[in-house]
Amino acid sequence: MNTKGNTALRRPLGKRILDRWQLYLLLFLPLVFLIVFSYVPMYGVVLAFKDYKAGMTIAEAPWVGLEKFTKFLTSFKFTTILRNTLALSFYSLATFPIPIIFALMLNAMPGQRYKKLIQTVTYLPYFISTVIMIGIILSLLNERTGAWGSLYMNIFGRTAPNILAKGESFRHIYVWSGVWQSTGSGAVIYLAALSGVDPNLHEAAMIDGASRWQRVIHIDLPTILQTVSIMLILAIGNIMSVGADKALLMQNSMNMKYSEIISTYEYKIGLSADLPTDYSLSTAIGLFNSIINFILLIIADRVAKKLDGSGIF
Amino acid sequence: MDSFKKASRGDRVFYVVITVFLTLFFLVVLYPCVYVVSASISSGAALNASKVTLFPVGFTLDSYKLVLADSTVWLSYGMSLFYTITGTFLSVALTMCGGYVLSRDDLPGGKIFITLFIIPMFFGGGMIPNYLLVSKLKLINTIWAVILPPSLSAYNLIVARTFIRTSIPREMFDAANIDGASDLRYFISVVLPLSKAIIAVECLFFGVGRWNTYFTPMLYLTEKKLYPLSLVIRQYLILNKINVDKLMDQEKAEQALNLVAGMKYALIVISTVPVMMLYPFVQKHFAKGVMIGSIKG
């Protein structure tokens, strides 16, 4: 059965490549897309070290070394932007255990049908797009036409305060709407891992008189620990990459002090009409961000390897 | 496995506690969804007087009539459908072809290709280099600017590769080979039919992503007639650029303003329903697909 494979290995490389021409044909298009849309933009990163002006090609732009990075790091906005980014990402990271707790609870809950219903309904917000999500937030928290206004009116008998106008509430709304939207879908991966628990373990523990709570702690939790650690590494590696899309939509003049983060600033410097555009500066900001992310990812991975021998690399 | 009736007293308390917690969370997730639907079929006057708390007040379909009478919404709805269907088809095709080829261990240079695909998962050019590329290719303000750039996802390709490697036994290939099937024939007649689960999950991921995206189109499109629904919704819902007089004659403008809130809710419902309808079809494949995604490559 394996003879063909073995003889194939012994044949010269050119012949082996020719044998597999159909595979190369299939790989051709994915490879073209990869090179054009992933590797070509990577070359564009050199813009961060150049002073690009509209109308030039990338090669024509003069080198300026680290000037653009210095400009960003010393700009008066830098500390605010960095503080906002870190606050938002660490606040989000703090909610990391919520889907895990949710999955453990759901897994331990008796009643198959109700369980299924909860899982299906809590998954649904995954399908809500960022634009719609912000639309829902703005509509629901409206002090008159939203659920917030109506509930407040019904309980206190007067018009609700406008919480959207308070800059401080930006972070809470940002993070907790994320929890609302992604707890159900985030739990799926842990639930899948939990379904792999050997039922014999539970039976043996029950015979020994373990309560359900003890079985959660000593059987269920250790089973998903590997998955948890991979997800945590990925979450830490993404800590600075708070995407521009959600924050940008939530920004208004009243919360700008809290809502301007690295990625929204990168967008505004580069492509929006709000600020004078500087392609090189914007690229430098993006590069600064991804370097920090990459370093964090490596550190998290090494730590995880030290702790329990798992890791993603 | 866990049954309430057979449980000890302590376990019963535990079950009650987690059931209460889960029910609370369930209601917290459900409430905004119900509210949005109720508000979309309530009258504008009731909304503005903060009367809607759970059930619709002053039932009316005016909000939907207004939304559906707006040609901008229709046009962008069509564009979104087009972007989603072509984009998802392209993405899934690229993913399956690439995933299959890289799953073969008898491919000379296979390791190099895999590394090539993994690197972009950790490092990318960023916003401006991508923008310059798209404008250099003269794609700005064309449908291709929305469809082409995000179509290859290295991550999903690696997931597909892992799926094919772990779920289709090597013996299958040897058997097909003895029967004289070429690599292409084997891909079409054996691998694709056996990969239905992963194809379903990928359709869901790519489809939802495509339908929901607004950032790429916002960067690359200025031509209004190419706008997908998400960009129109952004204008209406978030930038509050609803053109009221276009919808109503001048004397009814005040009444129309009343309707704006309801219209927003109707828009939310109309744009979210198509993606949610996908879910039941792929739900059964879901756990499997997600699990494979978590296996390290």
pLDDT digits over B163-172, tens only?
888 888 888 8
pLDDT of residue B67: 84
C-beta of residue B54 within 8 angstroms of C-beta of residue B34: yes
CB spacing of A109 vs B22 below 8 angstroms: yes
**Chain pair A-B, CB pairs under 8 angstroms:** 302
Q: What residues of chain A lie within 8 A of the CB of B37, using their CB? A: none
Q: Which CATH fold topology does B61-297 show?
A: MetI-like fold (1.10.3720)
C-beta of residue A137 within 8 angstroms of C-beta of residue B237: no
pLDDT at B152 over 80: yes
Domain boundary assignment for chain A: 3-49, 69-308
pLDDT of residue A298: 86
pLDDT at B275 over 90: no
pLDDT of residue A104: 95
Smallest CA-to-CA distance from B149 within A57, A127, A40, A264 is with A40
**Which of A1, A131, A192 faces B234 most closely, judged by CB atoms?**
A131
Q: Which residue of B has its CA nearest to A98?
A: B25
Q: What residues of chain B lie within 8 A of the CB of A31, using their CB? A: 98, 113, 116
Amino acid residing at A138: L
Question: Chain A closest CA to B112's CA: distance in Å?
Answer: 12
pLDDT tier, B61 (very low <50, low <70, confident <90, very high otherwise) = confident
Q: What residues of chain B lie within 8 A of the CB of A195, using their CB? A: 287
CB spacing of A286 vs B126 below 8 angstroms: yes
Question: Chain B closest CA to A105's CA: distance in Å?
Answer: 6
Question: Chain A closest CA to B18's CA: distance in Å?
Answer: 6
CB spacing of A27 vs B120 below 8 angstroms: no
* Portion 150-179 of A in contact with B at CB < 8 A: 150-154, 159-160
Please compute the mean of the pLDDT values over residues B11-35 and round it to a whole number.
92
pLDDT of residue B297: 38
Task: Summarize pLDDT for B188-229 with one digit per residue, the tens.
Answer: 999 999 988 889 888 888 988 898 888 889 999 988 899 999
CB spacing of B123 vs A42 below 8 angstroms: yes
* Portion 229-258 of A in contact with B at CB < 8 A: 230, 244-245, 249
Whole-complex ipTM:
0.85
Smallest CA-to-CA distance from B133 within B122, B143, B125 is with B125
Residue of B63, B128, B133 to mutate, testing the A interface (most A Cβ within 10 Å of its Cβ): B128
| Cα distances (Å, whole numbers) of residue A112 to A118, A183, A232, B4, B288 | 10, 20, 29, 11, 19
Please compute the mean of the pLDDT values over residues B102-126 and round it to a whole number.
87
Smallest CA-to-CA distance from A292 within B246, B122, B195, B82 is with B122
Q: How far apart are CA B205 and CA A227, in angstroms?
A: 20
Q: Which CATH fold topology does A69-308 show?
A: MetI-like fold (1.10.3720)
Q: What residues of chain A lie within 8 A of the CB of B123, using their CB? A: 42, 290, 294
pLDDT of residue A2: 44
pLDDT of residue A6: 52
Phi/psi at A311 (5° precision): 165, 170
Q: Cβ of A212 under 8 Å from any chain B Cβ? A: yes
Helix, strand, coil percentages (3-state) for chain A, rounded to 5, are: 75, 0, 25
pLDDT of residue B294: 54
Which residue numbers in chain A have pLDDT < 70?
A: 1-10, 274, 308-313
Can you list the alpha helix ranges (DSSP code H) found in B152-228? 154-167, 170-178, 183-186, 192-194, 196-212, 215-220
pLDDT tier, B247 (very low <50, low <70, confident <90, very high otherwise) = low
